Amino acid sequence: MPGRSIAIAGGGIAGLACAALMARAGERVVIYDRMAAPAPIGSGLILQPVGLAVLDAIGAAARMRSLGAPIKRLFGRTMPSNRVVLDVRYRALGGGAGEGVAVHRGALFEALLDAARDAGAQMEGGRDVIAASGGRLTFADGTTSPRFDLVIDALGVKSPLARSAPMPPLPFGALWCNVDWPEGKDAAPFDPNALEQRYESARKMVGVLPVGRLRPDAPRQAAFFWSLRHADLAAWRAAPLDLWRADAHKLWPQAAPFISQVKDREQLIFAAYCHGTRASPASPAMAHVGDSWHSASPQLGQGANMALLDALGLARALEANRDISLALDAYSRSRRGHIRLYQLASWMFTPAYQSDSHAIALVRDWLMAPFSRLWPMPKILAALVAGSIGSPLSAIEVTRDG
């Protein structure tokens, strides 16, 4: 039976994962992206066990494991007391449960792009999608695409293809950049297998995430990030960079080997975050995946993993259902419960690490942190970070079989 024609709007993680999975299944896939040449946006991320399972299905997991940095622990202290307020360890899940792998976003992008092309997906760059109707995409230059059996919206949180209003940004975002991992004595204070953070109340946060290598011959790197309110972004841009470096150094003096590598403010990219889920991931002949359907803060490290799970859920639903409308219904059912659960968890946890509330920070430090060490909380928190609460992979396979 001939494959169906599928247009994917957006060549990010969600779009490329969809393309790789669906082209491998025999569908005729074309990716449309506004960039003339494909390129990643962003710094580093943690691939959780659920995301790695999707990459296994795509055939890219081994490459990511070889390039990335194994993550065994998420660890944070509040300053100046140096009190431990975050300590999540994957080993609490027991043997064989897996661990995270932190990767350079560019490395993941290249792996997914290669997988999509190898599977036979086509890509058209320089195509700025502004609308879709009747299986056709409309571009900013006024031209339209051929008609497709299915359009997949992977354009992100500001997608023009989403019917509902754009999600408002959260009060806090973050400045991100990639820097080289220090060597020798400069590396001594840092765990190469941990995400580490330092906090001042919940208003300031600085963090370091080892992300491995962009390519096999490249140096080891880390993602360095600094929490920042939207309202303070203009003032930060106007102030001398030395003031920010001094502020970051005061909060975490040991991070000097990373801070000193930020020579120009253009190295730091401001990432804005939103929180919300659109009413439905599907409309006639269209499916929304990743941030175009749901978005949350990065506190639980689930953004890319959610996008990968959406891609797998939609691909499996299309394999099981020749009828597009039935496939879209199965896709929605396979993912809705997991997304709702993690949206709730993100809504609850985010203010404890990014907010102006001193009271919430005190609750975090004196109640949440001690409680998190009591059985069975270490295992629950590890499962939450690993993305396995709600059994998303099983939900996808059950829907497929059903």
Per domain, the residue ranges of the chain are: 5-72+105-167+276-353
Which residues have CB under 8 Å from 221's CB, separation 6+?
Answer: 44, 104, 178, 179, 180, 181, 210, 211, 212, 213, 214
- Check pLDDT > 90 for residue 56: yes
Hey, how many other C-beta atoms are within 10 angstroms of the C-beta on 80? 10
Question: What pLDDT shows up at residue 328?
Answer: 97
Distance CA 74, CA 342 (A): 18
Render pLDDT for 91-118 as a digit per residue (tens, 0 to 9): 999 988 889 999 999 999 999 999 999 9
- Could you give the angle at the alpha carbon of 91 between the alpha carbons of 341 and 102, nearest 5°? 70
- Check pLDDT > 70 for residue 178: yes
Question: What pLDDT shows up at residue 244?
Answer: 97
Which residues have CB under 8 Å from 377's CB, separation 6+?
Answer: 371
- Between residues 187 and 254, the one the model is more confident about: 254
Distance CA 255, CA 207 (A): 9
Q: What b/e readout covers 218-240, taking b as 16+ CB neighbours within 10 angstroms?
A: eebbbbbbbbbbeeeeeebeeee
Question: What is the band of 199 on the pLDDT scale with cuts at 50, 70, 90?
Answer: very high
Distance CA 118, CA 200 (A): 47
351, 363 Cβ separation under 8 angstroms: no
Phi, psi for 273 (deg, rounded to 5): -125, 150
Amino acid at 367: L
- Check pLDDT > 90 for residue 165: no
Question: What pLDDT shows up at residue 186?
Answer: 85
248, 75 Cβ separation under 8 angstroms: no
Question: What pLDDT shows up at residue 399?
Answer: 60
Percent of the chain surpassing pLDDT 70: 99
Q: What b/e readout covers 283-303, taking b as 16+ CB neighbours within 10 angstroms?
A: eebbbbbbbbbbbbbbbbbbb
Question: What pLDDT shows up at residue 168?
Answer: 86
190, 183 Cβ separation under 8 angstroms: no
Question: What pLDDT shows up at residue 95?
Answer: 81
Question: What pLDDT shows up at residue 107?
Answer: 96
- Check pLDDT > 60 for residue 400: no
Q: What is the mean pLDDT of the chain?
A: 95
Percent of the chain surpassing pLDDT 90: 89
Mean pLDDT of 378-399: 93
Mean pLDDT of 186-205: 95
CATH superfamily membership of 5-72+105-167+276-353: FAD/NAD(P)-binding domain (3.50.50.60)
Amino acid at 269: I
Mean pLDDT of 210-229: 97
- Check pLDDT > 80 for residue 54: yes
Mean pLDDT of 355-361: 96
Distance CA 375, CA 377 (A): 5
- Check pLDDT > 70 for residue 238: yes
Question: What pLDDT shows up at residue 9?
Answer: 98
Distance CA 22, CA 398 (A): 19
Distance CA 142, CA 247 (A): 48
**pTM score, two decimals?**
0.96
- Check pLDDT > 70 for residue 30: yes
Render pLDDT for 114-156 as a digit per residue (tens, 0 to 9): 999 999 999 999 999 999 999 999 999 999 999 999 999 999 9
- Check pLDDT > 80 for residue 87: yes
Quick one: three-class SS letters along the chain? CCCCEEEEECCCHHHHHHHHHHHHCCCEEEEECCCCCCCCCCCEEEECHHHHHHHHHHCCHHHHHHHCEEECEEEEEECCCCEEEEEEEHHHHCCCCCCEEEEEHHHHHHHHHHHHHHHCCEEECCCCEEEEECCEEEECCCCECCCCCEEEECCCCCCCCCCCCCCCECCEEEEEEEEECCCHHHHCCCCCCEEEEEEECCCEEEEEEEEECCCCCCCCEEEEEEEEEHHHHHHHHHCCHHHHHHHHHHHCHHHHHHHCCCCCHHHCEEECCECEECCCCEECCEEECHHHCEECCHHHCCHHHHHHHHHHHHHHHHHHCCCHHHHHHHHHHHHHHHHHHHHHHHHHHHHHHCCCCHHHHHHHHHHHHHHHCCCCHHHHHHHHHHCCCCCHHHHHHHHHHC
Render pLDDT for 283-292 as a digit per residue (tens, 0 to 9): 899 999 999 9
